[in-house]
Amino acid sequence: MERRRCYRGAVSDGRRVRGEIEKLPSGSLRVRVYAGIDPVTRRRRYLTRTVPAGPTAVRDAEHLRSQLLADAAVRPARPAGAACLEVVFFGMQSNLAIPVLHGVEAVAAPHDLTVGFVDVLHRSGRSWAHDLLARRPTGVVTVCLSPPTLEHEVLAAGGVPLVTLDPTGEPDHPVPSVGAADAAGATAAARHLLGLGHRRIGVITGPPDRLCARARLDGARAAMDAAGVPLDPALVRTGLWFAFEDGLNHARELLRLPDPPTALLCGNDLQALGACEAARRAGLRIPQDLSVVGFDDIPPASWCGPALTTVRQPFTEMGAAAAGMVVSMAAGRPPERTRVELPTTLIVRDSTAPPSP
């Protein structure tokens, strides 16, 4: 897609936000951003002053919104035998996607539903909800994605129930959701480290716009406050994503401090594995010199050496719960609860031990 150098800008509620100069899509695509389709700048943070958006851009955006909703409202009837439950990922990672799909399939199969899936991370331009309607799904589950308002409106206009699993942020419209007890899991992990005698505990988190990242940081902080060992802000690092490289780079920084942490609590297992690699490169032993705790309990957590202490998320059960809510909604039964949180479990393995004297 052709791009040009321009002020960072997006049209939102009739106003354009300007900030630092950066490559962005053409004005026609910024209209789509206004309409709720954010293929390029969905993770951007807009800056500084605002100026009125041009009336043409606002008018075109409203026309696009009206057209998409009208198309959704006249969705043709589903042919017999074509019932399908669609799963929409924003960044499809096998460690999460496969168990979630297993859970969805376990619920879908007894209801004679097939399961389809799509990754919208790199999609641009057209509304993914509009594209899904062409496949006439029975319902939709989004994973690690808070659907923009327009996507929600398009699905609702087409009569397609929507449930979001592990939403990234607070949606501006009511959508039933399924998640894990992130704060409780991080609290259990921090208490485990405190119980071993650690007082210098570093925390590597995910991006702050992710609800789960904020909840895990809050849970760790609450446990340490309750123990009378407040979390040192100098020992907190924020990852760009839940990635191995975040754990590697931030752990390297923390271990180079004059008074480094004796334990690291990471936002997920990939970050924890990166932290273990940083310790190895620094000549430190795990857990003798540094304890490390992850989050998720992906398969490599038990394969690595030493095996990783972590907090298990019930991904399969989360997928099943989300699918069950969609099936009920498709049958005309609203969910009993609009928010379901499944418990997490601390799995103690070999990467944690008391600090060295």
350, part of any domain: no
Residues 323, 288 share a domain: no
Residues 289, 187 share a domain: yes
In this structure, what CATH number is given to the domain that contains residue 189?
Answer: 3.40.50.2300
Residues 226, 270 share a domain: yes
Task: Give Cα 295 distance to the centre of its chain.
Answer: 14
Would strands 84-89 and 139-143 be described as parallel, antiparallel, or unpaired? Answer: parallel
Residues 243, 122 share a domain: no
Q: Can you list the positions of beta strands (E) in the chain?
A: 3-7, 11-12, 15-17, 21-25, 50-52, 84-89, 114-119, 139-143, 162-165, 177-180, 201-205, 236-238, 263-266, 291-293, 310-312, 339-342, 345-347
135, part of any domain: yes
Instruction: Give per-residue pLDDT as tens, 18-34.
Output: 333 333 333 333 333 33
Residues 253, 176 share a domain: no
Residues 301, 222 share a domain: yes
pLDDT (0 to 100) of residue 121: 83
Number of domains in the chain: 3
pTM for this predicted structure: 0.76
Task: Give Cα 161 distance to the centre of its chain.
Answer: 20
Residues 201, 227 share a domain: yes
Residues 211, 148 share a domain: no
User: Which structural domain, as residue segments, surrounds residue 32?
Assistant: 3-73
354, part of any domain: no
Instruction: Give per-residue pLDDT as tens, 199-243.
Output: 999 999 999 988 999 999 999 999 999 999 999 999 999 999 899
357, part of any domain: no
79, part of any domain: no
